[in-house]
Amino acid sequence: MRALGAAFYDAMSLAAFIERFGTMDFSIVGEGHYFLAASGDGVVLGSGGWSRQMPGYQHEARQALPDPRGATVRGVFTDPAFARQGIGRAIVRQVEIDAAEHGIMRLELTATLSGVALYEALGYATVERRSIDLGNGLSFGCADMVKSLAAFAAAA
């Protein structure tokens, strides 16, 4: 997050966001919808998943997912050494397939500014651009995005 977000955020805002929210929410692992991309020799290249639970940074924006058949894409990260090689795209596609197989019809996410272009390329639409207040005069810009999984459901 620090390396890939450096062109979009100052170091203090990145540090404050990571300190307050971290980069990993283990609840998505517990729900069983968390994926790793690894090289042939076991090096983790990226990760991501989806959850029916709302991430901590969303509680300030709203209290619950509006659609019981909706879920949130969470924890999508790519090792900076392997960025822009299709790893993030592959992880998000696996997340979408798995979510559709579990009856999810709509995925939401809060993208970092450095991730917006990836999600737009994958068909996510920006609902709102906003900032998360980190205190001490710091904020963290992000974009709330959404995608219908109707096409996945129809294909299944």
Q: State which H helix or E strand residue 75 sits in.
A: strand 70-78
pLDDT score recorded for residue 33: 92
pLDDT score recorded for residue 1: 77
Class of the domain covering 2-155: alpha beta
Sign of dihedral through CA atoms 47, 142, 89, 151?
positive
pLDDT score recorded for residue 63: 47
Longest dimension (CA), the chain: 49
pLDDT score recorded for residue 2: 79
Q: State which H helix or E strand residue 142 sits in.
A: strand 138-148
Question: Mean pLDDT, consecutive 10-residue segments, the chain of 156 residues?
Answer: 82 88 76 92 94 62 59 91 94 95 94 94 96 91 94 62
pLDDT score recorded for residue 89: 96
DSSP β-bridge partners for residue 143:
111, 129
Is residue 141 within 8 A of residue 128, CB to CB? The reply is no
Report the length, in residues, of the chain.
156
pLDDT score recorded for residue 61: 46
Instruction: Count the Cβ atoms, other than its own, within 10 Å of residue 27.
Output: 17
Residue type, 109: L
Q: Domain ranges in the chain?
A: 2-155
Is residue 50 within 8 A of residue 74, CB to CB? The reply is yes
pLDDT score recorded for residue 101: 93
Name the 3-class secondary structure at 108.
strand
Q: State which H helix or E strand residue 78 sits in.
A: strand 70-78
